[in-house]
Amino acid sequence: MAIDYDPFSAAVRQDPLPIYKRLRDEDPVHYMEPYDAWALSRFQDIWDASSNDDLIAAKGTTPAQLLTKDQPVAPMLNVMDPPLHTQLRSVIRQCFMPRHVRSLEPIARRLANDLLDEVADRDEFDAIGDFAARLSVASACLAIGLPIEDGPHLTELVQGFFHHDPDSGGVTEKGLASLAELTAYCEDQIKAFRKSPTDAPQGLPRLATFEIDGRRFSDADAASHVSMLVIGGSETFPKVFASCLRRLWEYPDQRAMLVADPSGIVDAFNEVLRYDMPTQFLGRTVKRDLELHGRTLRAGQAVIFLYASANRDEREFEDPDRFDIRRRAPRFLSFGAGHHACLGTHVARMEGKVCLEVMLERFPGYEVDLDRATRFRTEFVQGFSSLPVRVR
């Protein structure tokens, strides 16, 4: 029976893994007729495509830009191509390199302990709303150069941006309005910085002073880039951390290993990233015709990279549906690859290390109330929106 894969369908949004396996085995370059677009599902194909200059980001990377075309393409690093992308990325990435991230770790650890102090007298708390989301947005503010006290408001706007229609799964007017409000906030911050500039080694100052052929970004263009950093730096980590708590609760022997020897926490975090990647896909547009597995991808067509499928590819991972914190996979696609590999990789790993160390030290016997957890189930994102954990 032919595969009818549509990322917006109810069945795919409920559980995409079974159809991902069929795509990998039967139709690794799958044509989605309603969108005149292609879906790649195998690891190596996506790994190679991520560095293919015949696939460009300038026409968008998200489903709302490439498939439904509900979201306009605004100036952001993730929709730029070399050589401009390379120039700008080289400037911003300095703020996210290990040396700078190491300076943030003591602050993140102090904040993590403070947040758990706030819930220490409770029987339970929400691992996302009470802990991971608050720490994640605070870390993003520190790395980007935004007031940390604005974190709760930014969290609200980012969550609003990911609001999807429960029936179609598509982006809503609320989601687009939240993005507009976030961008307006970032533009105000750019204007304030330009009135009183500093040489702080953070993302916003670098964007505000970046020049192309002697010309700086406009306030609006710089703000668009900053908003991308806010979204990327605060949205994904809470879902990954919640999955960490869920999987370690489901596999108590592996949790016990980490409690006894926390040195394996980074490996465990990486395995959760592979096993439960929240972002289902991003995409590109074909610049010139190319062939893959006997299919011809035409110029102008969109191509989506099914990262969550690739991370379960039997051709890359032995027994990929087995959760094993000792796996130490040499590569996976949860941070992307190639030109657009995630800028925040080191920040995310630092946050994962700090949060798991503090959580397992303070509440090594925590329990997850999975029945009361809530989830995002959209074409774009899978993962928890809240996860109650009992600690008493």
DSSP one-letter string for 328-391: --S--STT--GGG--TTHHHHHHHHHHHHHHHHHH-TT-EE-GGG-EEEESSSBEEEEE-EEE-
Percent of the chain with pLDDT over 90: 65
pLDDT of residue 73: 84
Task: Band the pLDDT of 171: cuts 50, 70, 90.
Answer: low
In our burial notation (b when 16+ CB lie closer than 10 A, e otherwise), range 219-254 reads bebbbbbbbbbbbbbbbbbbbbbbbbbbbbbeeeeb
- Which segment of 41-45, 317-321, 342-346 scores lowest on mean pLDDT? 342-346
Q: In this structure, are residues 79 and 58 in contact, taking their beta carbons and an 8 Å threshold?
A: yes
- Residue 79 CA to chain centroid, in angstroms? 15
Q: Is the pLDDT of residue 169 over 60?
A: no
pLDDT of residue 65: 93
What are the phi and psi torsion angles at 141 (to 5°)?
Answer: -60, -40
Query: To 10 degrees, what angle do helices 151-161 and 133-144 make?
Result: 110
Q: In this structure, are residues 353 and 345 in contact, taking their beta carbons and an 8 Å threshold?
A: no
Task: Band the pLDDT of 125: cuts 50, 70, 90.
Answer: very high
- Residue 64 CA to chain centroid, in angstroms? 16
Pairing outcome for strands 302-306 and 37-40: parallel
Strands (E), 213-272: 215-216
Q: How far apart are CA 170 and CA 184, in angstroms?
A: 23
Question: What pLDDT digit, counting tens, does each position of 272-303 carry?
Answer: 999 999 999 999 999 999 999 999 999 999 99
Mean pLDDT of 156-174: 70
Give the chain's mean pLDDT. 91
pLDDT of residue 113: 96
Q: Indicate yes or no: pTM above 0.85.
A: yes
Please tell me whether residue 82 adopts helix, strand or coil conformation. Answer: coil
Mean pLDDT of 206-223: 84
Q: In this structure, are residues 109 and 358 in contact, taking their beta carbons and an 8 Å threshold?
A: yes
| Residues in a beta bridge with 367 | 390
Mean pLDDT of 192-206: 85
Question: What pLDDT digit, counting tens, does each position of 223-268 carry?
Answer: 888 888 888 878 889 999 999 999 999 999 999 999 999 999 999 9
CATH number of 51-278+318-360: 1.10.630.10
- Only one residue has tokens 């000792």, namely 326
Pairing outcome for strands 55-56 and 124-126: unpaired
Please tell me whether residue 178 adopts helix, strand or coil conformation. Answer: helix
Q: Is the pLDDT of residue 177 over 70?
A: yes
Q: In this structure, are residues 55 and 288 in contact, taking their beta carbons and an 8 Å threshold?
A: no
Task: Band the pLDDT of 165: cuts 50, 70, 90.
Answer: low
Question: What pLDDT digit, counting tens, does each position of 327-346 carry?
Answer: 999 999 999 999 889 888 99
- Which segment of 68-72, 160-164, 241-245 scores lowest on mean pLDDT? 160-164
Collect all residues with Cβ–Cβ distance below 8 Å to 222 and sequence separation of at least 6.
186, 187, 190, 207, 208, 210, 216
Q: Is the pLDDT of residue 140 over 80?
A: yes
Pairing outcome for strands 382-386 and 281-286: unpaired
161 or 390, which is more confident: 390
Q: In this structure, are residues 203 and 229 in contact, taking their beta carbons and an 8 Å threshold?
A: yes
What are the phi and psi torsion angles at 288 (to 5°)?
Answer: -145, 155
Task: Band the pLDDT of 363: cuts 50, 70, 90.
Answer: very high
pLDDT of residue 167: 60
| Residues in a beta bridge with 211 | 216
pLDDT of residue 119: 94
Collect all residues with Cβ–Cβ distance below 8 Å to 50 and sequence separation of at least 6.
305, 336, 337, 338, 339, 340, 341
Q: Is the pLDDT of residue 99 over 90?
A: no
Mean pLDDT of 116-124: 94
